[in-house]
A and B are shown apart, each in its own frame.
Chain A
Amino acid sequence: MGIEERIQSQVLTSTLERFVNWARKSSVWPATFGLACCAIEMICTAANRFDIARFGMEAFRASPRQADLMIVAGTVTKKMLPAVIRIYEQMPEPKWVIAMGACACSGGIFRSYAVVQGIDRHLPVDVYVPGCPPRPEALLYGILKLHEKIQKDPFLTRKEGPVHVPAEVQVVAEARS
């Protein structure tokens, strides 16, 4: 029946939000950024057996300016923390953070003078992947959860605006500048 029939077989209708979110979640580029033991499992996830390319994420970028996902893979020490925060700040919006492993989630077994007890004290974490270290499958599960989260992101209608910067990050940024 006229134009509707033609359109139905060739055109998908969607909302702008759903479409943009679909595009964003389908090619999340992680920053090449390993801290400790978990980085080894992150590399395994990217290698041939677990093959992160299946989720459109094989483009690990060495420069944070080209990345939009930060996988905090490993122990964050107090000496490393300013560098971690700087890398996060260098990433363009929109950006996401996965805390991979017990150390990044909560400090893990290293309850010592040198270790930050969880990166969520300083960065807004989207997905926590527990384990010491988490298996590559666990990281992939966390990544899929992040994809779900991105797909549901109401970035057009959200009232407070698209960026959440926790108070600690502001404090650190101000102290340095």
Chain B
Amino acid sequence: MALLSKKDTNLILDPLADNNPITIQVLGICSALAITAELKASLVMAVSVIFVMGVGNVVISLMRNIIPSKIRIIAQLIVVATLVIVVDQVLKAYQYELSKTLSVFVGLIITNCIIMGRFEAFALGNGVWRSFLDGIGNALGYGVILIIIGFFRELLGSGTLFGIQVLGDPIAKTGLYAIGYENNGFMIIPPAALIVVGIIIWVQRSRNPALVEEN
């Protein structure tokens, strides 16, 4: 017997491609714009969201039968806020510089609509194990897009990856810069992320025309 049944596998794999929270459901765009100028920040954000969503979905799923439905949003907010504070404190303790870069956006994970969306749509109505898989899957789908955007924005905008210069030194003019290449300042500013997201959506839908919505 496989570790995961086919249905469970789909819970993880679907959000990675054909039901991606960013490119298909178009949720969580704010953070995708704000923190993807560097790959490292994108990665940390992705890991944080994976943690918050995995654990959060489990907690909500455990409590799903005792939360009165009238105050369920508040209950969800408390769960997600608690988890976000844990993430924030861990970052401050071990990655202080990075937490300054991410600044308010770690706190704003609370408002990430993907998380509340999954709590509402999935964890409130499903068992613990499946909720966990769903949380991980959606957060992975979010993280993958974040990392793709971060990769292109950092490479083209700063010529670095994880802060390491891969295209040569722009100040000493080595590598590509020696022949006149320059970093693209447009990729640093947030609108560039919108355009990269748009291109990802475009590529994805032209590869899989079934995803194109009818007007």
A and B physically associate: no
Residues on A facing B (Cβ under 8 Å): none
Residues on B facing A (Cβ under 8 Å): none
